A and B are shown apart, each in its own frame.
Chain A
């Protein structure tokens, strides 16, 4: 094993003979005059943009006040005919308080993949949402759970709390995310362009993505 390491590192050093020995990585200039955001500062505009961009990639967007989350969640589960829903351990319990007759399965390492495959819906929060690209980022925090629960069920309901969780752009998102946590960036439902380079929604991940954008101050 260390053989390969020494061989590769030795080759690299010989290959870079033209790089002055005194040059440090930071000496190679990286121009960063690109934009931090392509959107103006107005939070209301960022919210509208997020909704539009999510919808553009076939996510279904629902906007409401925070108190309405339980009702919206219940409606969405009923609409899909979901009799079971998986939730992360730290999901605010109120969110499922109106979902009657739905079995609630809590994320747990003991839960088998096969069991999860039998659950139609999942409800999670998110770490943040990026308006320009219509992206939700999940970071496995207690209200989001392990990565597989938002993957195996066919229907994902994701709650975004606005405006706190909404950023305008990718450059504004990265500093707020912790690379040590496993992250999943989601932009619309699962899709493929593999047949004639034409986009089709719905392959292995959830085929229906419902996004509830809940505004804190109602």
Chain B
């Protein structure tokens, strides 16, 4: 979806609109607060959580520092097990590969299990252009697809919708895609889930091609791993004759044993369960069980650019659990759409500007979409220091410098619109480094305080954004340093 989202408003504007949408805010608040508490309970059950977290981060660091080695190992293992491995440098190449593979089967439709990678590449639209229909089968993805909507959350793409809205979408749209919704469909979640079951069952049973992503790819064995809840993943992974999995190159883990860490970290961080209902692992193809043809498409699409950044690299440790979204106060109020990519929330704010660069105004605004409160870092199961990466990317935006884009080292200019800010920051630094000047300024403010309006209601320039909703404190009669001078003199006299 990378390019189709361009032209969207920069984050602050989109977020502002979201803050005024009371229903959206209610839906998001309800959902994120529900899962927050549950995650905390699920995590508290394991007294070695911080150790697991350190191990998870270390396994991913090992992988990333030797990514070429592990990819080649995985390629050999998958091929040995009967699969075919393809490499895609960007979204267009990945989509071309998948469309070509589908066409070769002679089929015109595919069933899909939720995959962030194919959302990122905009696969569905690319297939549509080739006359191939992609059916999303994850309940939330189905809601998004039927609602002609965009996903707004990694785990629960329809988190912005409440049960009533979902019922309306099902009633209105299901018939156009296949089996209609039951006449008297209500808004009970169990009823809605049942409607999805009936609607999708016929598609699963007739599908000849399945498309998936993967949570993990084990290098030493060539095993792919998909965690899910509903069973739609199992349907897509086992019933079709052909399975195509599009997997980001950073999804690798070195060994089978490494799963012992991630299968503990991911479910508890993600759905707040000890274990998600279904996990499927497969290695190539198996006679008499599941697809006869398996294709693995390894996707770069900007990941190697992030890898080249020694600070930003840690974002590639992400296992897409969405804990950082659920705990983020900014995400809760801005909603997922404001982030303008498949990756909303704190992880989106550090990943998108690395995958796509910071030349687009939206992408350049993402590193600022945070109050740096640190809640995301605290919950991240692979200890990505999101605030650190945000500040790092802010520097890239305001200072420019050497970065890697599409595999080449280039020098980017500072983003536009920061000139006044840069000047102010320089001036502030100068003043702070010259305390006498600082003191003179403070005194001036104090002495002229009678001339200040009794309440600062509307500030000029960018500071107006402050005064729209908040007062400023009044300037005190004297700065602390003047009081200190008197205090010390008085004390000296006493002693």
The answer on direct contact between A and B (beta carbons under 8 Å) is yes
Mark A residues whose CB is within 8 Å of B: 1, 3-5, 7-19, 23-25, 28-35, 38, 53, 57, 109, 113-114, 117, 130, 132-135, 140, 146-148, 151, 170-171, 174-175, 179-206
List 13 additional contacts besides A16-B307, A193-B155, A194-B138; criterion CB under 8 Å.
A7-B300, A15-B304, A15-B305, A16-B66, A25-B62, A113-B204, A179-B218, A179-B221, A180-B221, A185-B275, A185-B279, A204-B234, A204-B235
14 contacts between A and B (CB under 8 A): A8-B249, A19-B65, A30-B55, A35-B51, A114-B205, A117-B205, A146-B290, A174-B259, A180-B221, A185-B275, A189-B277, A190-B278, A196-B162, A199-B273
- A170 and B260 within 8 A (CB): yes
Which chain A residue lies CB-closest to B313? A15
Given contacts A16-B68, A190-B278, A191-B277, contact A197 B289 (CB under 8 A): no
Report B275-305 residues with CB < 8 Å from chain A CB.
Answer: 275-283, 286, 288-290, 298, 300, 304-305
Given contacts A148-B239, A204-B204, contact A194 B87 (CB under 8 A): no
Which chain B residue lies CB-closest to A137? B279
- 8 tightest CB-CB pairs across the interface, nearest first? A205-B231, A204-B231, A15-B308, A11-B304, A203-B230, A4-B87, A185-B279, A133-B275
Q: Which residues of A contact B239 (CB under 8 A)?
A: 113, 148
Q: Which residues of A contact B277 (CB under 8 A)?
A: 57, 186-191, 205
Distance, CA A196 to CA B249, complexed state (A): 32
Which chain B residue lies CB-closest to A173? B260
Q: How many A-B residue pairs have CB under 8 A?
A: 274
Q: Report, as a range, how many residues of chain B touch the other chain.
A: 35 or more
Mark B residues whose CB is within 8 Å of A: 27, 30-32, 34-35, 45-48, 51-52, 54-55, 58-59, 61-62, 65-72, 81, 86-89, 93, 97, 137-140, 143, 155-156, 158-159, 162-163, 166, 189-190, 192-194, 196-197, 200-201, 204-206, 218, 221, 223, 229-232, 234-235, 238-239, 249, 254, 256-257, 259-261, 263-264, 267, 271, 273-283, 286, 288-290, 298, 300, 304-305, 307-308, 310, 326, 404, 407
Tell me what chain B mostly uses at the interface: helix, strand, loop, or mixed: helix
- A184 and B289 within 8 A (CB): no
Given contacts A179-B218, A185-B275, A203-B230, contact A23 B264 (CB under 8 A): no
Distance, CA A57 to CA B196, complexed state (A): 21
Most chain B CB within a 10 A radius of its CB, from A14, A117, A148, A195: A195
Which chain B residue lies CB-closest to A1? B86
Which chain A residue lies CB-closest to B256? A179
Which chain A residue lies CB-closest to B155? A193
Given contacts A7-B89, A187-B277, A191-B230, contact A202 B34 (CB under 8 A): no
Checking B65, B88, B189, B276 against A195 with a beta-carbon cut-off of 8 angstroms, the contacting residue is: B189
- B304 and A191 within 8 A (CB): no
Q: Which residues of A contact B67 (CB under 8 A)?
A: 12, 16
- A4 and B232 within 8 A (CB): no
Q: Which residues of A contact B230 (CB under 8 A)?
A: 190-192, 194, 203-205
Given contacts A5-B87, A8-B300, A203-B193, contact A197 B159 (CB under 8 A): yes
